[in-house]
Chains A and B, each alone.
Chain A
Amino acid sequence: MSHAEDPKEKLIDHLYETDGRSEPNDEIAKEWIQTSDENRKTWQDYKKIWQSARLFQYFNGIDTSTDWQLVDRRIQQHQRKSRYLNHAVYLVSGMAASVLIMLMLNVLRPDHDHSVTVRTNWGDRSEVVLPDGSSVKLNSGSTLSYHYDSNSRKRLVKFTGEAFFQVSKSKDPFVIKVMDGLELKVLGTAFNLQAYPGDQFCKTTLTEGKVELTTAAKQVLLLTPGQVAAFNKSNEQLTLDPGNPDHLLGWMENKLYMDNMPLGEVCTRMERWYDVRIAVDDPSIADSIHYTGVLSEETITDVLDALCGLSAIQYEMKGNNIVITKK
């Protein structure tokens, strides 16, 4: 048999040209396939292997984190378009941006109807001054929209995330709608509000003045300075939290105070602060390992090294993804 008529070569040619998506027309190739059931089966398998090898290459080439950024960006754009079409929206990231926002917001007249939305990315923090002169230090992953309603003469705020508010004194109430029906009403005061969508509790820490909290079921709690109110999202109950109020303010000094805090919660905090994803390989250690103390490290690896020094865990980091395992 001369090499030009080698059926194997013909079949490879066919796979190469059509990616194995059809049956060959070539007589020599057809004859080989039809010689026996075994050959027919072999040919089917070869086509599958040939095509699959390309699929595997495609599968391996997909970069999840790059594509996540595309999706994330489009969702943020979409949310701006749909929800705040007529509002000013600011994404706060870094100092330069926040200085700019203070300037822009101060131009707005405080007693006119207008809306403004500020947002911080995961890993970013910033400070803004609202049109009424109130200043807000935003922790990462927070969104605040402010609206002055001249009819009801109220300063209306919608908020998720964590922030320290210093509300300017005014006879117009400053009302924050948090989530699950929880509302805070304040006049002039300073307090920290921790209200991340993923958390079980929403915590308000009052440092001065007065805050009145109201739930959807009209449960009312009046906070005095030094007290912490905890709103349990699962049963919508408001209670006074026995925790140390100073510890809840630690984020402004880059400190995380841990009072017997489970590893799982420490990880959630780190994810927000450093914009990373942390997976705990063994779910049992997420709840069973607890930490007490204060973390004040600069980088995520410093924090993780510190945690590994305190307990029998180790970690592996690839880009923004961290996996924690038992040692």
Chain B
Amino acid sequence: MELNDKDLFLAVKNDSYVAFSQLFERFYRRLCLFVFRHTEDEDASQDVVQELFIKLWTNRHQIIIHDTVSAYLFRAARNASLNYLRSQKNKQHALEGMQPPEIQTDSEDVEFENFLIQLRECVDQLPERSRQVFVMNRFQELKLADISEKLNVSVKTIKNQLWKSLQYLRMCLQAQKKI
């Protein structure tokens, strides 16, 4: 049942829609993250990747993959991101001075995913109060003033806790050789 990427893609070429949905499931989130790192736009990233998969299905008979399926998909996602950024620039919507990060290869992308997973584990190990502040600000995107009100501590204390969290997280990531 669990086909490798190559066989899954061959099944897609043979018109298997089930295989196509499995390929989607396997790569969708990773590709969204990859595109998001370039476009910095949540909705646009998901649109770009959805478009990529729709094209993949429509053109499945013409597509020939020479290297790995993963390398092919990330390359396609990279091109789609660049096209998107170009079109945004043409529309004069691109933020001035915003530099898209350097384009990574898919192996760097896997590394980055591992980094994120490790970061999550390190966040879980933070002392309770620091973790709370960090999660509220970074994960739930609450404003410092709102956190200060919710936890009934000063903004200064919150900033101190964020600094301490960064210190701790860096140590934790260093210990795992992830930074």
Query: Is residue B86 contacting chain A, with contact meaning CB distance below 8 A?
Result: no
Chain B contact surface mostly = helix
Give the distance in Å from the alpha carbon of A8 to the alpha carbon of B167 in the complex.
Answer: 11
The stretch of B26-34, B66-74, B76-84 in contact with A is B26-34
Q: Which of B2, B138, B169, B170 contacts A279 (CB 8 A)?
A: B2
Query: Is residue B15 contacting chain A, with contact meaning CB distance below 8 A?
Result: yes
Query: Is residue B63 contacting chain A, with contact meaning CB distance below 8 A?
Result: no
Is A74 a contact of B50 with CB atoms below 8 Å?
Answer: yes
Q: Shortest beta-carbon distance, A91 to chain B, in Å?
A: 14
Among residues of A, the one whose C-beta sits closest to the C-beta of B31 is: A62
Chain A positions 58 through 101: 1 when the CB is less than 8 Å from some CB of chain B, otherwise 0? 11001010011011101100100000000000000000000000
Is A67 a contact of B173 with CB atoms below 8 Å?
Answer: no
Q: Which of B50, B97, B137, B163 contacts A71 (CB 8 A)?
A: B50
* A-B pairs with beta carbons under 8 Å apart, 6 shown: A45-B173, A54-B141, A64-B24, A198-B14, A198-B19, A286-B1
Q: Shortest beta-carbon distance, B25 to chain A, in Å?
A: 6
Is B163 a contact of A12 with CB atoms below 8 Å?
Answer: yes
- CB-CB under 8 A for A48 and B144, given A58-B42, A62-B46, A67-B46: no
> Chain B residues near A280 (CB, 8 Å)?
1-2
Q: Shortest beta-carbon distance, B27 to chain A, in Å?
A: 10
Chain A positions 270 through 312: 1 when the CB is less than 8 Å from some CB of chain B, otherwise 0? 0110000111110100100000000000000000000000000
**Which residues, 125 to 161 on B, are CB-close (under 8 Å) to A?**
134, 137-139, 141, 144, 156, 159-160
Q: Which of B28, B137, B156 contacts A62 (CB 8 A)?
A: B28
Is B144 a contact of A46 with CB atoms below 8 Å?
Answer: no
Is A75 a contact of B54 with CB atoms below 8 Å?
Answer: yes
Among residues of A, the one whose C-beta sits closest to the C-beta of B158 is: A12
Apart from A50-B166, A197-B15, what are 15 other A-B pairs with CB-CB below 8 Å? A12-B162, A42-B170, A46-B166, A52-B119, A53-B134, A53-B138, A55-B37, A56-B116, A57-B139, A59-B32, A59-B33, A62-B29, A62-B46, A198-B16, A283-B2
Among residues of A, the one whose C-beta sits closest to the C-beta of B139 is: A57
Chain A positions 1 through 16: 1 when the CB is less than 8 Å from some CB of chain B, otherwise 0? 0010000110111001
Give the distance in Å from the alpha carbon of A50 to the alpha carbon of B36 in the complex.
Answer: 16
Is B36 a contact of A71 with CB atoms below 8 Å?
Answer: no
Is A68 a contact of B21 with CB atoms below 8 Å?
Answer: yes
Give the distance in Å from the alpha carbon of A197 to the alpha carbon of B28 in the complex.
Answer: 23
Among residues of B, the one whose C-beta sits closest to the C-beta of A278 is: B1
> Chain A residues near B57 (CB, 8 Å)?
75
Give the distance in Å from the alpha carbon of A278 to the alpha carbon of B46 in the complex.
Answer: 25
Using CB atoms and an 8 Å cutoff, list the residues of chain A in contact with chain B. 3, 8-9, 11-13, 16, 21-22, 42, 45-46, 48-50, 52-59, 62, 64, 67-68, 70-72, 74-75, 78, 141, 160, 179, 197-198, 263-264, 267-268, 271-272, 277-281, 283, 286, 321, 324
Among residues of B, the one whose C-beta sits closest to the C-beta of A22 is: B97
Q: Which of A55, A267, A272 contacts B1 (CB 8 A)?
A: A267
Is B36 a contact of A55 with CB atoms below 8 Å?
Answer: yes
Is B173 a contact of A49 with CB atoms below 8 Å?
Answer: yes
Query: Is residue B179 contacting chain A, with contact meaning CB distance below 8 A?
Result: yes
> Chain B residues near A3 (CB, 8 Å)?
156
Q: Which of B17, B98, B119, B162 contacts A56 (CB 8 A)?
A: B119
Interface centre among B22, B119, B166 (most CB of A within 10 A): B166
> Chain B residues near A62 (CB, 8 Å)?
28-29, 32-33, 46
> Chain A residues near B144 (CB, 8 Å)?
16
Give the distance in Å from the alpha carbon of A141 to the alpha carbon of B42 in the complex.
Answer: 33
Query: Is residue B44 contacting chain A, with contact meaning CB distance below 8 A?
Result: no
Among residues of B, the one whose C-beta sits closest to the C-beta of A43 is: B166
Chain B positions 1 through 20: 1 when the CB is less than 8 Å from some CB of chain A, otherwise 0? 11000000001001111110
Q: Shortest beta-carbon distance, B143 to chain A, in Å?
A: 9
> Chain A residues near B15 (CB, 8 Å)?
160, 179, 197-198
- CB-CB under 8 A for A48 and B179, given A62-B32, A279-B2: yes
> Chain A residues near B58 (CB, 8 Å)?
75, 78
Is B2 a contact of A281 with CB atoms below 8 Å?
Answer: yes
> Chain B residues near A264 (CB, 8 Å)?
1
**Which residues, 100 to 138 on B, are CB-close (under 8 Å) to A?**
115-116, 119-120, 123, 134, 137-138
Give the distance in Å from the alpha carbon of A117 to the alpha carbon of B166 in the complex.
Answer: 60
Is A70 a contact of B50 with CB atoms below 8 Å?
Answer: yes
